Amino acid sequence: MERYESIYYRGGAEISNVLRTVANHYIGMNPPEPFTFCAFSREGPGWDRNGCLCMDLREKLPDAKQGENAYAAFRIWSDSEEEKLFEMACFGPARLYVAGEMVFQSSVTEEVNVKHKKAFPVQLKRGWNDFIFCFSSTASGFGAMIAPEEVRWHWLPFLAPFTEREGCLGAVYSQAFPGDFRKMKPDFCLGGSERETGLEWYPQRWSGEAADWNREAAGGHRWETVFGEIEPGQRIYGKTSLRGDGREIMIQTGAGGTGACDRVRVWLDQTEILDSCQEQKTACAAAEGCHTVTVMVERTGLSEKGNYPSVEIYTEGGPACCEMPERICGATGDWLYLGPFENSVPVFRPEELTLNRLYDTGNGGTYWRLDGKDNWVRPCLQNELFGRWNYPLGVTLYGLLQTGRHLEENGITQYAASHIAQCVQMQEYAMWDEAVYGYPQINNQLCTMSMLDDCGSFASAMLEAYSEIHEETAKTAVKTIAKRVADHMEHVQERQEDGAFYRICKDFFMENTMWADDLYMSTPFLIRYYQMTGDAVYLEDAAKQFMLFKKYLFMEREQVMSHVYDFKYQTPTKMPWGRGNGWVLFSLSEVLAVLPEDHPKREELLTFFRQLSEGILMLQGGNGLWHQLLTHEDSYEETSCTAMFIYGFSRGIRYGWLPDEDRRYRKAVQKAWEGLTKYAIDRKGNVYGVCRGSQYSFTPDYYKYDLTSRDNDTHGIGIVLLAGIEAGKLE
């Protein structure tokens, strides 16, 4: 960033201006968009429990002969040019082409052992990226599995190719065909029509023209193709939309084959206009505009098995022009379907039939379906950030919540609250999605929770936002999720014998390690859950973790924390990473603000806070910023740790935890904030110099040269906002 571009050059270090600019820039770049709802065929390739797309063509094409070949394909949208790592495991010979270039070719090592995964980079361009796989059938298998490396962190939606399937979720695969696998290379475009390839593609697609398969008459439909045969007393729902022009619309119900009719209820918007067990025709006025028609069919047992009542919708000018009532990408037809429900489940009113929840059938969960066999709706996260659950976004949203409150700008607060509400409101669905489909397309880290990174930071922001969330379903979900996170921390998360959190992570690079980061991933949530429940167990656990982590990680001479303790070697790395120390000081200030004055651990925690603050103070750089590796002045100036130290020092001064008669800490805060506005924040609200998500090392070169910074990384935006708020409270 050029000095001329800095926010300081234009407006100085005035805190409210900086907060407003950074917050509004983030919101503008990440508008509050809902989940994307996509058509998905259960007959297509699915995902396994590890997040791998499983293209097992031996299962999908059981009649394929040994030596025959097939293609599979999907598309990925990227908002920017970037390199992504992928992993593949093969059932047999496989190649992958991206943008016409071969990026993967199996060796015999992969072809004979599906447990052997191979990692490889793919350079994604901005826009659509076409992934086309070439497979050959052998005795060992046919196809492959693929996922982004570290899929829980780098989840990407795989979308169907071809114009006929635009918007659908998942991969497609071709018919099997003979030929020389060595010469097999795709010569077709995934952005065109599948007809142009000369191949049959699966899963079978109900095209727009073929959607008439389900029509009996205009606006009518055959329920049995979607639901099969249901039992007497069970209920099913259908939902469509039509445009009124001020004239009457007519609803006509017809009986099954015997003339006896199931019970049919019909609503126009929220008004019930028909409830009958007989063939019936009714008319009502439909004002100009869009209207929703909801139909409920209850099996009475009187109609002939396999026959459902027809429901036909007309206007004075002829058959009504119905439309899909919700935005479902890739859907054909104009009806959504839900059910079947047991008669013990109360009848849903139209306003209760939304996309934003899972439905209890009385015999398990269910969600919305589409025309055709095994065609379902699946919510999918296609936004880069809004609606995502991960730990950097936890601190980002915490910063936005507090910024909105500090500036008294409710729009900022509600933006953060709506992000959180969107996640929690769909968590019950996401758990069902995981159980049914193998791996969820939303909330994947929360669903597959296995470590503190997955839950603590975002759940802490969730509890902080509780008072800003107004939907009762979302508030209930907050409590449910918070209990699950608390149970994980207290009863599932790995601990050393002394009770300290650590990471087992078997066969992963971080196996048997303790990270300074995990104090932030746990203790702010624990104290907020203590405040919500009044259960002191969570407060006690938060307090004791700091002294346990200090025992393993505190570097006495430097008075700062090592990033990681490696139990494989029984030693700390002795690498004082800036943000790792920031997590500790930040989190300790959160706990001290809640810990009772007479708590037995308070004095030793205050002593630790002062020791750590003193060590950090001594290492402030000349520009006011701290360095990526605190004790190495030749490492780059890092934004997120600087912001955390501002936050910790400011609270220490304000609460009286730090002796500051000579104003050393106050001067450090002022110098650091001015440094951020000069060197790390530009006049548009971009935030620079934020270290990306880390691994760990015993060598300084990793932190200095490999662990580089990123612009507008979510590890830094929220904490910059929080730093400004706390610095402002000193003025």
pLDDT at 78 (0 to 100): 96
| Burial class (CB within 10 angstroms; exposed 0-12, middle 13-18, buried 19+) of 394 | buried
CA-based angle 304:310:313, to the nearest 5? 170
Number of other residues whose CB lies within 10 A of the CB of residue 589 = 23
SS3 443: coil
In the chain, pLDDT over 90 holds for what percent of residues?
84
Q: Report whether pLDDT(332) > 60.
A: yes
Q: Report whether pLDDT(694) > 80.
A: yes
| Burial class (CB within 10 angstroms; exposed 0-12, middle 13-18, buried 19+) of 558 | middle
pLDDT band per the 50, 70, 90 thresholds, residue 258? very low
Q: Report whether pLDDT(508) > 90.
A: no
Distances (CA, A) of 304 to 259, 411, 474: 8, 56, 43
Q: Report whether pLDDT(253) > 90.
A: no
**What is the tens place of the pLDDT at every residue in 215-249?**
443 344 568 789 988 888 899 999 999 988 878 88
Q: Report whether pLDDT(165) > 80.
A: yes
Q: Report whether pLDDT(251) > 80.
A: yes
Cα separation, 602 vs 611, whole angstroms? 14
Task: Please provide the distance, in angstroms rounded to a whole number, between the alpha carbons at the two ends of the chain.
Answer: 28
**What is the tens place of the pLDDT at every residue in 521-567?**
999 999 999 999 999 999 999 999 999 999 999 999 999 999 999 99
Q: Report whether pLDDT(255) > 80.
A: no
Q: Report whether pLDDT(520) > 80.
A: yes
Least confident of 37-41, 107-111, 204-208, 686-690: 204-208
For range 497-505, the mean pLDDT: 96
For range 148-175, the mean pLDDT: 95
Cα of 619 vs its chain's centroid, Å = 37
Nearest to 98 by CA among 146, 61, 58: 146
pLDDT at 302 (0 to 100): 61
Number of other residues whose CB lies within 10 A of the CB of residue 467 = 11
For range 78-92, the mean pLDDT: 96
More confident residue, 135 or 276: 135
DSSP 691-711: EPP----SSHHIIIIIS-EET
Pairing of strands 172-174, 201-202: antiparallel
Task: Quote the tokens at residue 283.
Answer: 């008319």
Q: How many helices (H) and strands (E) does the chain have?
A: 19, 32
Residue 643 contacts residue 658 (beta carbons within 8 Å): no
Helices within 135-211 (DSSP H only): none
Q: Report whether pLDDT(701) > 60.
A: yes
Residue 646 contacts residue 674 (beta carbons within 8 Å): no
Domains of the chain (ranges, CATH numbers):
1-12+494-731 (1.50.10.10), 37-202 (2.60.120), 210-380 (2.60.120), 383-490 (no CATH)
Cα separation, 351 vs 396, whole angstroms? 33
Q: Report whether pLDDT(650) > 90.
A: yes
Cβ-defined contacts of 318-321 (< 8 Å, 24+): 318/218, 319/217, 319/218, 319/219, 320/218, 320/219, 320/242, 320/249, 321/242, 321/243
Q: Report whether pLDDT(416) > 60.
A: yes
For range 571-597, the mean pLDDT: 98
> What are residue 344's DSSP bridge partners?
none
More confident residue, 698 or 306: 698
Residue 142 contacts residue 58 (beta carbons within 8 Å): yes
Q: Strands of 564-566's sheet, edge to edge?
A: 513-515, 564-566, 571-572
For range 118-132, the mean pLDDT: 97
For range 636-661, the mean pLDDT: 96
Pairing of strands 101-105, 571-572: unpaired
Which of 97-101, 259-263, 316-320 holds the top average pLDDT?
Answer: 97-101
Question: What is the residue whose two structure tokens read 């505009």?
Answer: 289
pLDDT at 306 (0 to 100): 57
**What is the tens place of the pLDDT at every residue in 592-625?**
999 999 999 999 999 999 999 999 999 999 999 9
Cβ-defined contacts of 317-324 (< 8 Å, 24+): 317/247, 318/218, 319/217, 319/218, 319/219, 320/218, 320/219, 320/242, 320/249, 321/242, 321/243, 322/219, 322/240, 322/241, 322/242, 322/293, 323/240, 323/241, 323/242, 323/243, 324/240, 324/241
More confident residue, 48 or 317: 48
For range 112-120, the mean pLDDT: 94
